[in-house]
Amino acid sequence: MILTSPNFQNNGVIPAKFTCQGEDVNPTMVIDGTPEGTKSMALIVDDPDAPGKTWVHWVVFDIPAAQKIDENSVPGKQGVNDFGLRDYRGPCPPSGTHRYFFKIYALDKILGLKEGISKEELEEAIEGHVLDKVQLIGLYKKQ
């Protein structure tokens, strides 16, 4: 699979629109080469450069096998992020430039879990069901 965004390049700067300093909406993501047999997809957006731990910005699962996730959309069921919400929350680093990993997993099943699960619960649920995975990394520093 290949994951791209018309909004930023891999290892490029995420526009402020998609951060806490803008509209705080998710960017568009384009998925090419979804494996045959994909029943659903999962998405995790996190920041491994956050102080103390990897900070979770978005958890989504039971996304229909798709080729695109639209800007400002909720493509599936949402888990809880580290802000305590079931929504996308964009980059908002306390200092310096952070990396934001947008990770898509193609799965061989629909998980059927309840909304509000954690990233860790999602990772446990998809174990053994990942047909392929891909990531797109964006960078952001507060202006």
DSSP 86-116: SS------SSS-EEEEEEEEEESS---PPTT
Q: Where are the domains of the chain?
A: 2-140
| pLDDT(68) > 90 | yes
What number is the average pLDDT over the span 82-111?
97
What's the pLDDT band for 66 if we cut at 50, 70, 90?
confident
Rounded to two decimals, the pTM is 0.97
| pLDDT(138) > 90 | yes
Amino acid (1-letter code) at residue 65: A
| pLDDT(60) > 90 | yes
Is 2-140 a domain of CATH 3.40.50.300? no
